[in-house]
Every structure is written in structure tokens, then in C-alpha cells.
Structure 1
């Protein structure tokens, strides 16, 4: 089969299309003919610095996949050949990723693809859906009627986070940089749009909340934005970040306000081999598939590239400014089911 291999760490050009053996499913695994694969920031980070398992090079990157079941292991009961699925699994350097024509994945970690969207949209969804779900619903314990600040609302994680906040019955403010992005997040349901380059997002958030601060802030940017956001959160409020806090983070405001600080890394079950967590990811995706098919949740794909142009896709993501997600198209089966 064809796959994009990373043989060494480096710039996007280290990603090269090659022929590799087609995988065989284990007893509880399904063999998926991949139709599309999502591109995520974790992919570019691993390409630049090396994977979590450097002794297992070369590697096939790509955590997000969507495709059609071609074969199943002897103990598989949930799926059969011809079923359309989507999932977040592999691509960290141990198990094969999804920049390939085929992959295998345990059936427990997989969900049925939403029927109403394309394979490209489905492949764009898993990592960002799981990340936003865990950050808001599990780490941040979001409740109806609360007020939430989501940073970078037009990005991959941000644009689904806005929608998950609204599905919970809460209000959401979000930071963006352009009018195009403002129009986009407003259509998604954002209650307050903050142009962070022209406006102090802290003061804008305080103005929106009658000087109290939000109940929950979701940081998708990190760095100075993380500790600056402490001032935009109410006393005894919550802040969840998907980035590792900088060693120079100033914690004084967070401590004075008695904030609850939560870290969100949806890759944890994969990194630590936690089967229960991976199965939970499949359950999250199944619920999100229902919402997508009900028209309550949308996935934005900004650009698509053929598999052999994975390097160009990485470069575009690193250039920044993307609205939504970038996807690799692996086969021509892109119709909505």
C-alpha cells in the first residue's frame, strides 16, 4: 500500500510517499481502507522534533482517520466489511498512523461515521471533538447557563468548542483576529466576539460578564495567553489548557482567585495504553456523530490535499491563519454517504 513515511525529524519535506506492507487486523481489530486523514498540530510537532517512540522509525503520522471497513478480526462483533467509520488512533510513532491507504484499529476505539457528512469532514473531526469534549464537559465540568471564554474560536479545536458550549446551554465568548473569522464563529453561535489584536480580551470579557469574569476559560494557545486569562475568570472559576504551562507562568492571580487549573491532553490513553480511555473516545465520537446527523454540530474543512502532498499540508498548517481543519484525501470515495 502507499503511505507517507517520516524517516527522520525535520521540515515538511521529510514526509515522503512510499510503498509499505498492508497491515493485517488482529482478533479484535478492523482493517480500514482509509478515505481521508485529518492533519493536526501534533502531527507537525512530531515531524519537527521526532515521535514519542524514536526507536521505531520510520513512522507514519496522522491520528485522525475516516474510511470503510474492509476486513475484521475473528472476535469483532461491532463492525463488518462495508461499514463507514471514523476514529482517532495511531500516528504517535508506535501504532501506524493514518497517512496511508490502510490501517488497523481495535473496534472498541471506533465510531460509525456520521451519515450526513463527507469522509473529509469526518476525518477532520475526531481529535478536535474529543479534545473539546473532555476540556469542557469533563475537565471544566461545564453547566447550563454558565459563561465560557474560548480562545481561537475559528481554529480546529475552537470551532467545535463553541458548538459544544452552546449544546450544553451555556454562553460563549471567543477571541479571533479577522472579520472573516468573526463571521464564521458568529454563525456557529458565539455570543461575544473579541478581536484580540485590537481589543484587550481581558477587559472585553469582564465587560461581557459585568466585571465578574467567566465561569470557565478554555485556552488553546498557551504561553502568555494562559496566565493572562486568569484575570478574565471569576473567583473560584475554572481554566482548562491544552498546552503545557510555560515555566515562566505567573500564578499569583490564579492563586488569589482560587482558580481550578486543569490540563487536557486527549492523547493520554494512546500514550499510556489506557484501553478504557480509548473506548471512551469512541463513545464520545458516537454521540457527536448523532449531533452531526441532527444538524447540531458542524465540522469545517478549510483545505484538502492528496496523500502525496502531505508536506504541503503540513506547511500550510504551520503558516497559520486556517479556519477549521486541513485534510488529506487518500481515495476518491469522497461522496456523502
Structure 2
């Protein structure tokens, strides 16, 4: 079985072609998927450079996101059958094989049927960012109609779906971008206000947009400095959610005095926790999130932007592009290309 794997941490060059033993179904709830597309996410580049997040032996196959066709199934699987097209988020953190490979074994609970109208590249690109954005806005911040929401990095992987999920929830959206082209892109997604962080003051722009009140919800997809800069742009009793460690990479201690004065509720979002801690119910909830997103897609309220699809053998190039930054949407590896 063809795969792209690594046997030690390092730069993109450690990703190399490997021939692995064929997978065998040993659990009655396992589904063997012929993988057609695998999303490339920042966590993939971090694991590649730092090492697996879970204990593992031998080669590590990256890739949390997958989409493909059911090849075979365990004796107790009832939700899918051979020939069905599916998408899911499973594996790729070490210990459990990821999706940079021709085949993968996935627990039935984590799989959803491929939404009608969603092509295989979009399906392979979508699960991790959709789950991250949904958990941030719905599960952490409790988004409600009429709220004003700030999404940082609106043209990026998580950002561009977070904008659409917020709009679908009835919220008004502002977002940060780095160029006029990206501003046009996020406006098409439904953002009312696009703030070029290279040219504008975030706090002043948000004050103008909210008439001095501040945003009810902010989602930080960028890092500690942005998290800190967002605090004075928040409304009293607002929700500030970050998908990164807000205390890392700061030259000085994170001062939360202003956040306390505003009575902010601050939440951390790591959609990988259910996999890392083997929390079955939480993994099933994430699969349910994909089913909810599929309904939004069917209604034309959610779209996945794939910036480029590359053959699996060009995985190292995909990592270099992602680490270079500035990308809109998602990169995908096509396994069958």
C-alpha cells in the first residue's frame, strides 16, 4: 500500500514515499476506506517538525482529514456499505495511521456520508476546519442570532468556514485580512466588515463597526499577539475563543487585567482532544457536526474553498506552501492522482 510517511521529525524533506502492509479489519465497527483526498493542516506541519502527538513506533503517516470510498466493513457496521462515498476526521497524530495513504481504517462512528454536491477535494479538505470552527462558535461561545462576531484570518482554512457558520447562525461578521483580494473573498462569504490588519487599527475599526460597543464573540486563529490585541475590541461579557495557546511566544506575561474588567469569558479550542484522549462520545459529537455542516451545504450556506489539489507524492511541497503562509482556503493531497 502506497503512503507518504516520516520516521523522524524534521523539515518537509522527511516526508517520503513508503510501501506499507495492507490494512485488515479486526474490529466489528471498523470501516476500510480507499482514500481519495486528504486535507493538509497546520497540525500536520507541526507534527512533522516536532514529532508525533501520540506514542508511536515505526513510520508515522500524517493527515487527520480524509475522504474516499468504503472498500470493506466490520461485521457490525450498519451506517455505510461498500461503494459509499464518505468523509471523516481520524488519525494522523501518531499511533493511529493518518490519511496520506491509499487506505485507512476508520471507526464507523466517525464517518459521515459525502454531502451531495461536495466534490472529493472539498470533502478531503473540510472536516478538521469545520469541526474547529463549529466547536469554537457554537460549543464554546454559544453563538446567537444578531450577535456581532470577529473572525481573525478570515481567508484562511478555519477562518473562511467560520465566517460562513457565523452568518448561517444569524450573526453579523467582521474579519481580518491582509490584502484587497482577500477582502473581496471574505465579503463574498458574507462578512460585512473586512479589516486589513496591515493598514488599519483593529480596535478602531471594530469600534466604528459596532458603534463603540465591541464584538460579542471573537475567534483568534492566528496566535498570542492577536489574542492580546483583541481584548480591547471585545464587548462587555463577550466570548473570546482561541484555537492556539494564548500564553506562548509572548515576550512578556499575558496581562488579563482588561479582560477581567470586561468580564470576558475566554475559551480554548483544540478539536484534537477527543482523539488524543480517546473520548468516544466527543468523537461521535464531531461526526455529528459534519452532518450539520452537510445540511448547511445542501442549503447553499456553506462552501469549502480549495486553493489547490496536489498529488500525494508532492506532500512535502504542500507542507512548504502551508508553512510559507498567506494561503486562502485549503490545500489537498489527491491520493489517486
Normalization by structure 1: what TM-score? Answer: 0.97
Matched, 1:254 2:259: yes
Task: For residue 137 of structure 1, report the CA deviation from its aligned partner.
Answer: 0.5
Identify the residue that residue 24 of structure 1 maps to in structure 2.
24
Task: For residue 258 of structure 1, report the CA deviation from its aligned partner.
Answer: 1.1
Give the secondary structure class of the aligned counterpart of 1:104.
strand
Task: For residue 234 of structure 1, report the CA deviation from its aligned partner.
Answer: 0.6
Identify the residue that residue 211 of structure 1 maps to in structure 2.
212
Aligned with residue 264 of structure 1, among 265, 269, 283: 269
1:57–1:93 Cα contact (<8 Å) kept: no
Matched, 1:117 2:118: yes
Q: Deviations over 1:243-298 (max 9, x none)?
A: 01125322111111110000000001000000001111111101111221221110
Give the secondary structure class of the aligned counterpart of 2:163.
helix
Identify the residue that residue 11 of structure 1 maps to in structure 2.
11
| Aligned length, in residue pairs | 332
Q: Deviations over 1:91-148 (max 9, x none)?
A: 0001100000000101111111112021111011000000000000110111000000
Give the secondary structure class of the aligned counterpart of 1:204.
helix
Q: In 2, Cα distance between the equivalents of 1:323 and 1:130?
A: 18
Q: In 2, Cα distance between the equivalents of 1:216 and 1:55?
A: 38
Aligned with residue 318 of structure 2, among 304, 313, 319: 313
Instruction: Map residues 1-337 of structure 1 onto 2, 5 A cutoff.
Output: 1-25=1-25, 26-247=27-248, 248-332=253-337
Q: In 1, Cα distance between the equivalents of 2:255 and 2:42?
A: 26
1:63–1:90 Cα contact (<8 Å) kept: yes
2:2–2:102 Cα contact (<8 Å) kept: yes
1:239–1:262 Cα contact (<8 Å) kept: yes
Give the secondary structure class of the aligned counterpart of 2:81.
coil
Q: In 2, Cα distance between the equivalents of 1:57 and 1:313?
A: 23
2:54–2:276 Cα contact (<8 Å) kept: no
1:66–1:86 Cα contact (<8 Å) kept: yes
Q: In 2, Cα distance between the equivalents of 1:256 and 1:290?
A: 40
Q: In 2, Cα distance between the equivalents of 1:80 and 1:179?
A: 46
Give the secondary structure class of the aligned counterpart of 1:198.
coil
1:28–1:76 Cα contact (<8 Å) kept: yes
Q: In 2, Cα distance between the equivalents of 1:221 and 1:114?
A: 29
Normalization by structure 2: what TM-score? Answer: 0.97
Structure 1 gap segments, 5+ residues each? 333-337
Q: In 1, Cα distance between the equivalents of 2:175 and 2:286?
A: 26
CA RMSD of aligned residues (A): 0.9
Give the secondary structure class of the aligned counterpart of 1:129.
helix
Structure 2 gap segments, 5+ residues each? none
Q: Deviations over 1:56-95 (max 9, x none)?
A: 2320000000000000001101100000000001000011
